[in-house]
Amino acid sequence: MMYGIPLEDILFLDIETVPGIPRFDQMDEELQNLWADKHRFILERDGLTPEELYEKAGIYAEFGKIICISTAIFHEVDGQLKLRVKSFFGDDEKVLLDEFARMLGRYTAKKSAGHICGHNIREFDVPYVARRMLINGLKLPSLLDLAGKKPWEVYHLDTMALWKFGDYKHFTSLALLARIFGIPTPKDDISGADVAKVYWEDKDLGRIKTYCEKDTITVARLMQKFRNSEMIGDEHIEYVD
């Protein structure tokens, strides 16, 4: 799988999420109780209050929202491989998800065997995006509609799963893989733990977009490294509005 799929047939992506409501005390009582019920084991195990745990709400699709999806795809221009990067971002989650879904529709129309690729995409990005689309009343694109599909009909490449080589216990972060493969770190400004603060307190969505794009570019470069290919340079990366 690492070598059999042309790089140009892979759409790389990463998402950034935040709690849907800035603070625990701003939720209504029913939602507060549902949050506590969902995490009762963690709360009891770690001796936390529901409010203390709420800083992690962004990783749960039921309580969070998507503020940025960055995508990238390789293409060739006059014999030179380039990477085109485009982000969907904003405060209105339904609008950005609808735009992303439309782009996926155009992508699959052009590439019937097109794949999507991300780091931990199977356990986080794909289910999160699909759940948030349904919550927002949007139809799932074919690449995200997995119901009834056989494993070989699911065109998802997960760089974390590829690195596991069948080891179910092994988790490796994108930052660590970037370090050992000599890829510029995507964590040179903020990390995932900072995103909620940068969004809700600093109100700096542009900074988050840049961070998300760095992660997406890193995944694309990591796939090149997995295939023993030369890593694309910054001068050959194009950013599309």
| Residue ranges of domains in the chain, CATH in brackets | 7-15+70-240 (3.30.420.10), 21-62 (no CATH)
pLDDT, mean over the chain: 92
Q: What is the pLDDT of residue 195?
A: 94
CB-based burial, 132-147: b 16+ in 10 Å, e otherwise = bbeebebebbebbebe
Q: What's the pTM? A: 0.94
Rounded CA separation 57/63 (Å): 6
Q: Please tell me the predicted confidence (pLDDT) of residue 169.
A: 73
DSSP state of 200: H
Q: What is the pLDDT along the chain (241 residues), one digit of tens a residue?
A: 567 889 999 999 999 999 999 999 999 999 999 999 998 888 888 888 899 899 899 999 999 999 999 999 999 999 899 999 999 999 999 999 999 999 999 998 887 668 999 999 999 999 999 999 999 999 999 999 988 888 888 889 999 999 998 887 778 999 999 999 999 987 888 888 899 999 999 999 999 999 999 999 999 999 999 999 999 999 999 999 8
Quote the CA–CA distance of 5 and 227 in Å, as a whole number: 10
Structure tokens of 197? 């603060």
Q: What is the distance between the alpha carbons of residues 10 and 1, in angstroms, rounded to a whole number?
A: 12
Tokens linked to 27 = 């939720």
Angstrom distance (rounded) from CA 241 to CA 76: 19
